[in-house]
Amino acid sequence: MKFDIPAGARQVLQTLTAAGHEAYLVGGCVRDLLRGVEPHDWDICTSALPEETESCFAGQRIIETGLKHGTVTVLMEGKPYEITTYRTEGPYSDRRRPDYVRFVPNLREDLARRDFTMNAIAMDLDGNLRDPFGGAEDIKCGLIRCVGEPDQRFQEDGLRVMRALRFGAAFGYAIEERTARAVHENRAMLDRVAAERINVELRKLLVGPNAGDVLRQYPDVFCRFWPELEPLAALEQHNPWHCWGGWEHTIRALEAAPADVTLRLAMLLHDIGKPACKSTDEQGIDHFYGHPAVSAKLADEMLRALKFDNKTRGRVVLLVERHDAQLPPRSQVIRRWLNRLGPGAFFQLLEVKRADNMGQALEKVKNCLAELDVINSKAEQILAEGQCFTLKDLTVNGWDVVSAGIEPGPEVGQVLNGLLEQVLSGNVPNERSALLKLLNCKSMNSPK
């Protein structure tokens, strides 16, 4: 079969083979071609030693950062191509990189060190496959299967536990039975994996179309690196709003959220504080008073532990903290929220609230969902009309306040905020003449 292979990759393979070396496309790009998906990068493996590869591309732009591990990166038509000498790997005892790599003379050994059969296929320029572990067949059947003995492979590098789940979430493939059992049994290997590596896989997993099923089937794996999830995974909630337990509600809410890392993390963590806040009244109904604040604090700690960047962490914590906020669908209130959060976070909060509702008893939340639609359109209207909701939207500024006789200093800000408050409440229009008039009254009344 012929595949669409970019000119740069073709040139790399041709250059290496013309010099008498073996060279193949390998790994993710071959897998994606066979899945019928456009690859996002093109990795190449070769029998050439790194210095032989370098001499093949003398005169081209070469990046040597991966040299110790046998990788030479060549820039072709502005795109980087990683060319890696056939190799095997030692264990990952520093939790990040293999202790050693050893160059090997044949392709099969190189393919054997790879994690899953679908990732252990090589392809030449004519589309011929070298597929000693039956990866193409597994792709056809939608199966994730370890190359070799699953227990051993997960023990060599615990990250593979997360990679199995990530590919399951992203492709909707099932994890083959023995591999699945080994995932559960070897989850403790994640303790030996650097947080940054888990983070990379978790992000990809959460935005996968099948993330919900993976969370359903492997809660034990998630609880291994985030033990704070354990009480939530076991939480029952007897409450008319909730037809599901804590874990199923969390999963349904996550599935209902758009495939965006921040929103998916917010859904995964929004109720994490519920178990600690649970109380049961005389009627046997469970309540979770104050859980958003507790959830936000826990979410912050969990995201720090997994080395999420400050921007993602800050936004997720904000959304978790506010996920239960009351939002009456009135323009006045919406302008205040737009002011408090900014439009980006505000629209995300609406997504979070919608997703949270979708994970509850639908009969009960129909009205809430309709109300969220109203809020959404009103907020869009406020933005489209350029209505005032921040200090910089006001038709007067600090100079006007000073000209009205207020001493430069903190009082200027207070006066401006007072004017904004009046405009947000709808008491005064955001018109310069009206605001100046108000200012002059204020300055006459302000103590000198």
| 54 Cα distance to chain centroid | 36
Task: Please state the closest distance from residue 113 (CB atom) to ligand ATP, in A.
Answer: 6
d(CA 379, CA 327): 12
Q: Cβ closer to ligand ATP: 18 or 188?
A: 188
Roughly what angle, to the nearest 10 degrees, separates helices 261-269 and 310-322? 50
Tokens of 443: 């300055």
Indicate which single residue of 85, 119, 186, 237 sits in contact with ligand ATP (rule: CB under 6 A).
119
In terms of CB distance, is 164 or 272 closer to ligand ATP?
164
For helices 362-384 and 331-358, the axis angle rounded to 10 degrees is 140
Residue from 22, 24, 45, 115 binding ligand ATP (CB under 6 A): 115
Q: What is the DSSP string of 147-173?
A: SS-HHHHHHH-THHHHHHHHHHHHH-P
CA distances (Å), origin 270, targets 7, 74, 265, 298, 342: 47, 44, 8, 10, 20
Stretch of 27-35, 89-97, 254-262, 392-400 contacting Mg ion, by CB under 5 A: 27-35
**Least CB distance from residue 71 to Mg ion, whole Å?**
13
Least distance to ligand ATP, CB of residue 207, Å = 12
Binding track, positions 231-270, relative to ligand ATP; x by CB under 6 A: ----------------------------------------
Q: Which is nearer to Mg ion, 28 or 329 (CB)?
A: 28
Q: Which stretch binds ligand ATP (CB under 6 A): 138-146, 157-165, 409-417, 435-443?
A: 157-165
Contacted by 150, from ligand ATP, Mg ion, none: CB < 5 to 8 Å by type: none
Position with the least CB separation from ligand ATP? 28
Contact 210, 171 (CB under 8 A): yes
Which option in ligand ATP, Mg ion, none does residue 435 bind, with CB closer than 5 to 8 A by kind?
A: none
Among 3, 8, 19, 28, binds ligand ATP (CB under 6 A): 28
Q: Which of 21, 114, 313, 323 binds ligand ATP (CB under 6 A)?
A: 114
Nearer to ligand ATP among residue 111 and residue 266 (C-beta): 111
Q: Distance between CA atoms of 3 and 121, rounded to whole angstroms?
A: 15
Residue 371's CB: how many other CB atoms inside 10 A? 16
Nearest Cα neighbor of 111 from 168, 166, 45, 171 is 45
CA distance 133 to 343: 51
Q: Which long-range contacts (CB under 8 A, 24 or more apart) does 340-347 make?
A: 343/379, 343/383, 345/315, 345/318, 345/319, 346/379, 347/376, 347/379
Plot region of 210 (φ>0 → left; ψ -120 to 50 → alpha; else → beta)? alpha
Closest to ligand ATP by CB, 160 vs 274, is 160
Cβ nearer to Mg ion, comparing 20 with 80:
80
Task: Please name every residue paired with 71 in a beta bridge, in sequence order, or none if there are none.
Answer: 84
Minimum distance of ligand ATP from residue 161's CB (angstroms): 10
**Residue 311 CB, nearest distance to Mg ion (Å)?**
25
Amino acid at 63: I
Residue 367: CB atoms within 10 A of its CB come to 10
Question: CA-CA distances (angstroms) from residue 283 to 182, 240, 287, 290?
Answer: 44, 12, 11, 20
Please identify, using beta-carbon distances, which residue of 110 and 255 lies nearer to ligand ATP: 110
Q: Which of 306, 274, 303 is nearest to 290 (CA)?
A: 274
Closer Cβ to ligand ATP, 159 or 207, answer by number = 159
Residue 338 CB-density burial (10 A; 0-12 exposed, 13-18 middle, 19+ buried): buried
Q: Which three-class secondary structure state does DSSP give residue 346? A: helix
Q: Please identify, using beta-carbon distances, which residue of 160 and 335 lies nearer to Mg ion.
A: 160
Out of 6, 8, 28, 148, point to the residue binding Mg ion (CB under 5 A): 28
E-assigned strand segments in 51-173? 62-63, 71-76, 79-85, 87-89, 101-103, 122-123, 129-130, 143-144
The nearest distance, CB 116 to Mg ion, in angstroms, is: 13
Binder among 21, 87, 145, 160 for ligand ATP (CB under 6 A): 160
Task: Find the part of the chain contacting Mg ion (CB under 5 A) among 21-29, 66-74, 144-152, 310-318.
Answer: 21-29
Q: Which residue of 15, 27, 44, 299 would you call a contact of ligand ATP, by CB under 6 A?
A: 27
In the complex with ligand ATP, the residue whose CB is nearer, 157 or 228, is 157
Q: How far is the CB of 89 from ligand ATP (least distance, A)?
A: 7
Least separation in angstroms between CB 29 and ligand ATP:
7
Which of ligand ATP, Mg ion, none lies near 351, with the C-beta cut-off 5 to 8 A by kind?
none
Between 122 and 298, whose beta carbon lies closer to ligand ATP?
A: 122
425, amino acid identity: S
For residue 195, the minimal CB distance to ligand ATP (Å) is: 15
Binding site for ligand ATP (CB under 6 A): 27-28, 43, 114-115, 119-120, 157, 159-160, 163
